[in-house]
Structure 1
Amino acid sequence: MPFVRKRMFAPKKQKAFLYLIQELGYTQKEAQRLIAKGRLFVSGKPMTKTAGEIEGEFEFIYFEPITKGLEPTYEEEEFVIFDKPSGVLIHPQNRYTPYSLIDELKYQYGRDANITHRIDQETSGLVLCAKNKQSERDIKMMFEQRDMKKKYLAFVHGHFEKELTVEAPLLRAEDESAIVRMVVKVDEKGKASKTDFKPLQYFSEVDMTLVECSPYTGRQHQIRVHLFHVKHPIVGDPIYGQSEENIIKFLERELSEEERIKYSGAKRLLLHASELGFELYGRSYHIKSKVDFLKTSLLYVM
């Protein structure tokens, strides 16, 4: 379990954040943020005053990363790239999440290493991670300036016959029903969004197409919504292209694996972050995933 509750002892009265700095190596900002989040307990009650004092025994909840042996697909002095498997979260959802990619990163490269962007839990593929706080700032600035070129592979329903550019604004819905807390839709009031699509191979026996996707913008669920918009939803997508009843069942974790395969075509979302292209510290990089997405996808659909 990455979050552990540890019993600790302060031999003399002192500021709690100073103890965490001296004993656990946090910065003042980190120590005070953790105290404010209720991670430090005195007599069983959380301390939330960042200038609070401790003496004697207390408990502290902190993140202790674990490893499952996931090795990076590419590494430089300032950054590292992982090929994230489908089903692995980028960050823990709560204190009880057993494992996420941030575990692997911090276990291997230390507390200052951090993930610089996100892909969905079920999306597999490349994730660029910083090894230190300076490279984290530099990489996040690169993303903000849209200097990162990404390519994805997706298996979609139907025969996707020709190259296509979709420019459809996206809006995160927040007003219709309980299901929309995760749903993004095409709406003229939304944010400008653009994706290029290129069909690579059609599989007539299952009526599905392998498509290369190149997003120019990085909106939430952009590729998924744009493909659904042009009537080629991604195979295995439990949200876009599904009935409201099945969306609710999926969000409430009541949709069985058999039902999901029946209605969406696969037990996982068949979307893979396959390539990253960028310039950093005076060098150009073009990193490709080492995962054979075509081969692994066919195991799900054929």
Structure 2
Amino acid sequence: MRHEKLFTVDEEAVRLDVFLSQQLEQTRNQITQLIEQNAVTIDGKPTAKSGQKLKSGQTVAVVFPEAKSTPPQPIDFDVEILYEDDDVLVINKPSSLTVHPAPSVKEPTLVDWLKHKGVSLSTLSGEERHGIVHRLDRGTSGVMVVAKNNRAHEALSAQLQDKSMGRFYLAVITPAMKDEVTIIDRPIGRSSHNRLKMAITENGKNAKTEFRKLLPSHDETEELIACKLYTGRTHQIRVHLESISRHIIGDHLYGSHPKSGKMERILLHAYNLYFTHPSSGKRVTFTAPISPIMDEYLHKHFDEKELHALIDPNHIEHCFSTESI
């Protein structure tokens, strides 16, 4: 089933492909293909020119073609369900699980697991991304919300756009942050040096992350931090940390610390998520238990008494409720 998205232009003389890259999660090449396939209209008129200059107030519509269906792969794992009702499914994604199928992905994905379980899912993101409102990187564990119908999907997507959905992460980094609060607001795009990596790029998509210091390790060479996403770009936390010469323990792609080679997984966990429920209109909050590997590392390298107090979900949210710099 095809679906359409509408956008209103709010600046003069911006290129069509640049404008759409700021609005969509698709790559620039994917956007160019949509334009060439006459899937994009400006004020109702089709256009095949990626470089067409837009005017403020114009309406750009994108019609996404029906994705080709692929049979789900055999499943030999399970995923922890934190909450489920008729509208949403909240899960604790394990590390090393890819969220949705792609040409480069050979192993079963979260979407395969959802289909295997027979979960009713929204269709707004296409066949390969049924139910997926937001992603987590493959190596990142933690809380995710999945939409079970299109109405819920639209409501949750709107909350992502207007920043009323909150997402908090825990990470172990080296070296420690200089300031109690660090906010990085720099665009992210594909690295020109390594296609597996993302990087700070002038023409990238806007990206904003806030970091808060939590607790130094016993030897003070590492630090537990909390992170808040204001946008959801691929590898966002990792790229923004790399831009200030910080790295997450266990990050083999962006990390340069010797311990990264010894860890089974990246020590980055989507810990807390809140949103307004699509049906009840009430604010709901979910916390994903930390995986055994990361939990063991934290208890080995950090003060246990302080650790338990500082990773209390209420404390994490309170950290970010104070006025940002």
TM-score interval w.r.t. the shorter chain?
Answer: 0.5 to 0.7
- Runs ≥4 in structure 1, deviation > 4 angstroms? 260-265, 299-302
Partner-residue secondary structure (3-state), 1:192: coil
Aligned to 1:210: 224
Distance 1:240 1:170, change over 3 A: farther
Q: Confirm or deny: 8 A CA contact 1:199 1:210 kept in the other structure.
A: yes
Select 1:238's aligned residue among 252, 262, 279. 252
- 2:210 counterpart letter in structure 1: D
Task: Check 1:261–1:121 CA distance in 2 against 1; reply closer, same or farther (3 A cut).
Answer: farther
Maintained 8 Å contact 1:153/1:271: yes
**Deviation string for 1:217-249 (max 9, x for gaps)?**
22222211121222221111122244xxxxxxx
* Higher strand fraction (1 or 2): 1
Q: What amino acid is the match of 2:117?
A: Q
Match of 2:269 in 1: 272
Is 1:76 matched with 2:69? no
**How far did residue 270 of structure 1 move?**
1.0
Cα distance in 1 for partners of 2:146, 2:184 equals: 29
Partner letter of residue 168 of structure 1? D
Who is 2:169 aligned against? 152
Does the CA contact (< 8 Å) of 2:99 and 2:136 recur in 1? yes
Alignment length, in residue pairs? 228
Deviation, structure 1 residue 216 = 1.5
CA distance in 2, matches of 1:301, 1:261: 16
Contact 1:169–1:189 (8 Å) recurs in 2: no
How far apart are 1:33 and its partner, in Å? 4.6
Per-residue CA deviation, residues 132-167 of structure 1 (Å, 9 max, x unaligned), is 233223222322332211000000012335422223
1:110 to 115, 119, 141: 119
Q: Distance in 1 between matches of 2:92 and 2:167?
A: 14
Match for residue 58 of structure 1?
A: none
Greater mean alpha carbon deviation, residues 195-204 or residues 101-110 = 101-110
SS of residue paired to 1:104: helix
Change over 3 Å in CA distance of 1:68–1:264 after alignment to 2: closer
Cα contact 1:88–1:122 (8 A) shared by 2: yes
In the superposition, relative to structure 1, how do residues 214 and 262 fare at CA in structure 2: closer, same or farther (>3 Å)? closer
Distance 1:95 1:167 in 2: 30
Structure-1-length-normalised TM-score: 0.65
Query: Structure 1 unaligned runs (5+)?
Result: 1-31, 40-60, 243-259
Pick one of 220, 226, 249 that aligns with 2:234. 220
Structure 1 residue matching 2:269: 3-state secondary structure = strand
Q: 1:127 aligns with which of 144, 167, 185?
A: 144
Partner of 1:93: 102
Q: C-alpha distance in 2, partners of 1:102/1:300?
A: 34
Q: Which amino acid in structure 2 is aligned with residue 138 of structure 1?
A: A
Whole-Å separation in 2 of the counterparts to 1:203 and 1:94? 40
Give the residue type in structure 1 aligned to 2:95: S
Question: Aligned partners of 2:234, 2:301: CA distance in 1, in Å?
Answer: 26
Distance 1:156 1:236 in 2: 9
Give the partner amino acid of 2:230: Y
Tell me if the contact between 2:83 and 2:90 (Cα under 8 Å) persists in the aligned partners: yes
CA RMSD of the aligned region, Å? 3.1
Cα distance change on mapping 1:271 and 1:183 into 2, 3 Å:
same
Distance in 1, matches of 2:231 and 2:106, equals 30
Match of 2:283 in 1: 284
Cα distance, 1:64 vs structure 2: 5.9
**Partner letter of residue 270 of structure 1?**
L
- Stretch of structure 1 that moved more, 260-269 or 203-212: 260-269
Kindly state the Cα deviation for residue 287 of structure 1 after the two structures are TM-superposed. 0.9
Task: Give the Cα–Cα distance (whole angstroms) in 2 for the partners of residues 268 and 299 of structure 1.
Answer: 16
Residue type at the aligned position of 2:283: S
Gaps of 5+ in 2: 1-64, 123-130, 303-325
Distance 1:71 1:109, change over 3 A: farther
- Mapped to 1, the partners of 2:282 and 2:103 lie a distance apart of 37
Cα drift, residue 69 of structure 1: 3.1
Aligned to 2:295: 295
CA deviation string 1:37-59 (max 9, x = no partner) = 5x7xxxxxxxxxxxxxxxxxxxx
Q: Which has the larger radius of gyration?
A: 1
Match in the other structure for 2:315: none
Give 1:42's aligned residue: none
